[in-house]
Chains A and B, each alone.
Chain A
C-alpha cells in the first residue's frame, strides 16, 4: 500500500501567502535602510567604442551627489568569459556601463548622471553571429580571434562537455533510411523579463566586509560568485528575500550587485541600485541565440542513426554561463534523442549586443528548438508519427548520456513512456494526427494544426545542497537553508517536508531567511534541482535531528535502540508499548539539537515534460492563436499540487512557448539598439488570450528520494516552442522555418506578399 502522508501531496497554503496577498511581502525595493543612497548607471549609446575622455566635474558638484565611479577609479573587479571589468575603457554594446552615480535620491542621481560628459572613439561593430566569425569582422576583444570564445567552463569541472562526439556518423548515415539536412535558428533572443527588475543594496564596511541584500534566485550562489570577484580578503554576506521572478535570469546578477558594492565602498553608506524596466530588458539577460546546421539520419522504425552538425551559439558581448549552457544542452539533446553516432560541434560567438545568460531551458531548449525541426523533416520523409518517434527515443533505463561534466551516466530513472501515453490520450493525439503538413481541421480561412515536443534534464540532482534543522527546547523547529522564495513555493515545501519527517503541526516549523550568515552552503534552486537536491538536504537534516532526539529520549524511556522509537506532535514513544512516552521538551531539557543534511550531485536521473499543442492560423491575416496545450510529466510523487500546476502553466511565458509565437528581442541591425526594450513593444500574453491548458501528471515513485519525488518546474517552457513550429507547419502546409511564427512570416511562407516591397 502506498505510504500515507500528513502533508506531502496535500494542498497547504504557502507559508508566505498572507504576506503576498496583503502587500506585506518585502521585495528588495520595499526594504528601508537608514542613510540609503541611490545609484544610477550612465550607459553607452554606441555598440562599440573606446572612452577617450570622461568628465564628471559638473556631475560631482550637483548637490546631493556622493560619489561617481568610472573605469578610472573603479575597483579592479572582473568576471565572466572573457573576464570583463565592472567598468571598462571600451564599451561593447548599446547600454554598456560607463559610469555610476551615488546620490541622496534617485532623481538627483539621474540628473547628475546626465551631466557626465563622455568622448567616445567609435569602433566598427558586429551584430550577426556568422558575420562575427568571418575574417576581417570587428573584434570585440584583442585576444579573441574570430570572436569565438574558448570552449568549456571550469564551473562544470575540468572535463566540461564541449561537444557531442561519439560513434561513427558515416556508418550511421549509411544505415539510415532517410538522411536530411537542415538549417534552423532559435535566435530571436527572447527575454525572460521577471516582473521585478534587477536590484541590489550593498553596505560596505571598511576595510573588508560587505553585506548585500539581493533579489536573486540563488543567495549563497551570489555570495560564492561575489567572493571570487572581491577577492579572498573580503567577507561577503548575502541576504535574499522575496524575489519577484527570475526564471534563471537572476541566478547571477553580479553587475548590479557590484555597482551597489562599488558605490558603498566609495561612500561608506548603504547604496541601492535598482534597474529601470528599460535597463532590465536592454542590459540584463537574454536567451542565448542558436543556429544549427545539421544532418540527421533515421531508420523507418524511427531509430535515429546519426546526428552531425555545427551549433552556433550567440552570447552577445560576453558570457557568464553560455559554455555551461552548451555543456548541459548537449546532454539534454542526448536525453531526448537516443542515438549511437553523434558529431555536434558547438561554437560560442561574441557580438556587440547585450549578453545572453541563464533562462529556463539552459542551453537544451535553445538547441532543441533548432534540432527538432530537422528531425521532423526526417520523420516526414519516412511518414512517421512524431509522438511515436519522440516517445521511442527519450532516454530509458538501460540508456544513458554524457552530462555537463563530460562523463557518461547510465540512466537509472523511470521510463516516461506511460506518462507520454497519458498525455497523448488526454490531448487526443491519435485522433487528431492527420499527417505531416496537413491541417487537422479547416474552418473558413482558419487552419488548425497540432505539434509535439519533449524535454528532459538531468540537472534535478545537480550541484550541492546543505541544510541544518534546529530543534529548540520549546519544541519548535527552525530550518537553516539559504533558499529564497522566487515563486516556486520551495520554502514552504521545505517546511512541509520537515513537518512530515518530524510529524509536527506545520506552524511549529519555520525557516531562517536566506541569509548566508546563518545558513550553510546551498547552490540554490537552479534548474529543477529544488525537489531532489535542496529538499533532500533539508530532509536529511530533519532525519538527523530526529535521530539525535531519539538518542536523548531512549535512555529516559529505558530502550536500548532508537529503532524502537517513534514520534509525532512533540511526543516520543516506544513502538512496542506506546504508553511509554516522553514529551520532546522533557527529553531535551534546556538544550538545542541540530541536525545537518547534505546532498551531493547525482546526474543519473532526469525529468521529462512532453507538450502537445493545438493552434489555429488564419491564412488571410497570418495570425496564430494558441488553442490548447497539454503537458505530460511524471514527477515521482507530487509534493505541492498547486505549486506544480503553476510551474507547468508557466510553459507559456518567460521565453517559453510564446517565443515561438510573438516574443522576441529586436536589435536594430545598423545601430545595435534594442528597439523593444519596454513592456509595450516587447509582446507578452494577456489574460484575454489564454489557451486551455491541461497538465497530466503521473506519479511513478523515485526510490532514491525520501518522498519519491523529482522536480520539473524549470523545463516547462522547453518542449513548447518546437511543438508550435511543428503545429504551425502542419496547419499551413508549409515548413515554417524560424521563430517566432509572426503573421508576416506565415504570409511570406504562403507566398502572399504584404506591405512595402
Chain B
C-alpha cells in the first residue's frame, strides 16, 4: 500500500496532477492554490467536500477520532480527514453519494435497511456509519453482531443510534444472503 502511494505520488507529482477515481468518475486535479486545485496540505475530506462538492462526507473532529468522514478507499474504510489528498492519487474512492445504483437510482440494501430501522437520529454520523458498515459487509458479508460492533467502534454517535444501526447492518447482511 505504502509502495503504491509512493509510486502514484511520484507519478502524479511529475505531471502536477492528482488522479482520483471517485464514485465511478475520473477526476484530474492540479496541485496548487485556488479553486478546483489541490493544495499539498489539503486533506482528502477537504478535497471531497470543498473541491469536488461531495458534502455527504461529514467532518466533525477533523482529527481521526470520530469516524464521521469515513469513506471507502481501495476497498478499505478510511478516515478521509487523516489523509492528504496528494497521497491518494491513483486511488479508487467510494463516498456515501456513490452507494446508490448510478443507473437505476436504487438505494444500496444497507441504505434501505438504515431507513427501515430508522437507524439515525440527527443523521450527522450516518454517512460515516454506513461507509464503515459497507466496508465490513464487502469483506465479511455475514458478520456476527460482535463483528459489526467492532467494525463500528470508531464511529461516534452522540444521539445513541447505535442499537438501531446494529439492527440495520445485521438486517442488510441477512437480506444479502
Within 6-27 of A, Cβ neighbours of B (below 8 Å) are at: 11, 13-14, 16-27
Within 596-637 of A, Cβ neighbours of B (below 8 Å) are at: none
Among the listed stretches B1-9, B14-22, B84-92, B148-156, which one makes contact with chain A, having 4 or more residues with CB under 8 Å of it?
B148-156
Within 104-151 of B, Cβ neighbours of A (below 8 Å) are at: 107, 111-112, 114-118, 120-127, 130, 148-150
Q: A32's closest neighbor in chain B, by CB?
A: B53
Note all chain A residues with C-beta closer than 8 A to B54: 23
> B122 and A22: CB pair below 8 A?
no
Interface string of A241-275 (1 = CB under 8 A from B): 01111110000000000000000000000000000
Q: A26's closest neighbor in chain B, by CB?
A: B55
Task: Confirm or deny: B161 has a beta carbon within 8 angstroms of a beta carbon on chain A.
Answer: yes
Interface string of B37-72 (1 = CB under 8 A from A): 001000000000100011111111111011010000
Asked whether A20 and B107 contact (CB < 8 A) given A13-B116, A30-B55, the answer is: no
Residues of B near any A CB (own CB < 8 A):
39, 49, 53-63, 65-66, 68, 95-97, 99-100, 107, 111-112, 114-118, 120-127, 130, 148-150, 152-166
**Contact partner of A686 among B125, B153, B159, CB < 8 A?**
B153
> B156 and A684: CB pair below 8 A?
yes
Shortest distance from the beta carbon of B135 to any chain A beta carbon, whole Å:
15
Q: A656's closest neighbor in chain B, by CB?
A: B160
Shortest distance from the beta carbon of A199 to any chain B beta carbon, whole Å:
11
> B149 and A687: CB pair below 8 A?
yes
Q: How many Å lie between the Cα of A22 and that of B125 in the bound state?
A: 12
**Contact partner of A24 among B39, B56, B115, CB < 8 A?**
B56
Chain A to chain B: the 8 pairs with minimum beta-carbon distance, closest first: A23-B56, A244-B124, A487-B122, A23-B96, A487-B121, A679-B65, A20-B123, A642-B118
Shortest distance from the beta carbon of A686 to any chain B beta carbon, whole Å:
4
> B56 and A243: CB pair below 8 A?
no
Q: How many Å lie between the Cα of A21 and that of B107 in the bound state?
A: 9
Asked whether A21 and B61 contact (CB < 8 A) given A13-B115, A690-B163, the answer is: no
> B62 and A27: CB pair below 8 A?
no
> A195 and B121: CB pair below 8 A?
no
> A678 and B63: CB pair below 8 A?
yes
Shortest distance from the beta carbon of B96 to any chain A beta carbon, whole Å:
4
> A277 and B61: CB pair below 8 A?
yes
Q: B100's closest neighbor in chain A, by CB?
A: A22
Interface string of A32-56 (1 = CB under 8 A from B): 1000000000000000000000000
**A16, A18, A650, A687: residue with the most chain B Cβ atoms closer than 10 Å:** A687
> B57 and A196: CB pair below 8 A?
no
> A22 and B162: CB pair below 8 A?
no
Q: A17-B114, A244-B58, A653-B157 are in contact. List 4 more A-B contacts (CB 8 A).
A: A192-B158, A247-B158, A643-B121, A687-B150
Interface string of A633-663 (1 = CB under 8 A from B): 0000000001101110111111000000000
Note all chain A residues with C-beta closer than 8 A to B122: 194-196, 242-246, 485-487
Q: How many Å lie between the Cα of A194 and that of B152 in the bound state?
A: 18
Note all chain B residues with C-beta closer than 8 A to A243: 122
Shortest distance from the beta carbon of B173 to any chain A beta carbon, whole Å:
15
Asked whether A195 and B157 contact (CB < 8 A) given A18-B107, A486-B122, the answer is: yes
Task: Confirm or deny: A193 has a beta carbon within 8 angstroms of a beta carbon on chain B.
Answer: yes
> B158 and A195: CB pair below 8 A?
yes
**Contact partner of B124 among A11, A245, A684, CB < 8 A?**
A245
Asked whether A687 and B162 contact (CB < 8 A) given A195-B60, A642-B118, A680-B65, the answer is: yes
> B118 and A23: CB pair below 8 A?
no
Note all chain A residues with C-beta closer than 8 A to B160: 646, 649-654
> A22 and B107: CB pair below 8 A?
yes
Note all chain A residues with C-beta closer than 8 A to B116: 13
Task: Confirm or deny: A29 has a beta carbon within 8 angstroms of a beta carbon on chain B.
Answer: yes
**Contact partner of B153 among A30, A650, A653, A688, CB < 8 A?**
A688
> A195 and B115: CB pair below 8 A?
no
> B130 and A21: CB pair below 8 A?
yes
Within 474-529 of A, Cβ neighbours of B (below 8 Å) are at: 485-489
Q: How many Å lie between the Cα of A489 and that of B121 in the bound state?
A: 7
> B56 and A195: CB pair below 8 A?
no
> B126 and A20: CB pair below 8 A?
yes
